[in-house]
Amino acid sequence: MNDNKLPFWKTKTFSQMSKQQWEQLCDGCGLCCLHKLENADTGQVSYTDVACRLLDIKTCRCKKYTQRKKLVPDCVILKPEDISRFKWLPRTCAYRLISEGKDLYPWHPLVSNSDHSIHSNNISVKDKVISERDAGDLEDHIIDISKISHE
């Protein structure tokens, strides 16, 4: 196949992608919007089933995407130059997959041409997590992420 017939994520580096292409890489799983706890001794990061207060748990989208950093200072905005920081992202995340030289999964909306496939393939956090508004102590919410998201 000619290079010009390949999808953009196979031919362009992150920094060569347009802003729109960069945004399209996000599959909308919502996994990076879950609170995580880091063990101070081991450095191990554990997921919780508690979502950022701005995550819409039905759609897995941020309710205030354009204002997210202002409203949630801890929100991490991914940028192409931060490639070395992508290791903390879930292993299904498109940014991490591509940064590791891997391809997108068949359920990624750019491959499936469906926004629903991320939910029907049990990858997203849709209806499986609670908002931090209702959670209480995060320590009580540590989970095995594979119970929430499969691939």
Q: How far apart are CA 67 and CA 82, in angstroms?
A: 20
Of the residues 9, 14, 17, 27, which one makes contact with ligand SF4 according to CB under 6 A: 27
Give the strand pairing for 34-38 and 61-62: unpaired
CB distance 143 to 48 below 8 Å: yes
Is the Cβ of residue 41 or residue 127 nearer to ligand SF4 in the bound state?
127
32 counts as binding ligand SF4 under rule CB under 6 A:
yes
Cα dihedral sign, 49-53-54-58: positive
Of residues 81, 18, 75, the one with CA closest to residue 51 = 75
CB of 143 to ligand SF4, least distance (A): 16
110 counts as binding ligand SF4 under rule CB under 6 A:
no
CB of 90 to ligand SF4, least distance (A): 5
26 counts as binding ligand SF4 under rule CB under 6 A:
yes
* One-letter amino acid of 42: T
Residue 9's H or E segment, with its range, is helix 8-11
Locate the DSSP E strands across 3-100.
34-38, 45-51, 55-56, 61-62
29 counts as binding ligand SF4 under rule CB under 6 A:
yes
Is the Cβ of residue 41 or residue 95 nearer to ligand SF4 in the bound state?
95
17 counts as binding ligand SF4 under rule CB under 6 A:
no
CB of 39 to ligand SF4, least distance (A): 21
Is the Cβ of residue 93 or residue 129 nearer to ligand SF4 in the bound state?
93
Which residues are at the interface with ligand SF4 (CB under 6 A)?
26-33, 52, 54-55, 62, 68, 72, 75, 78, 89-90, 93-95
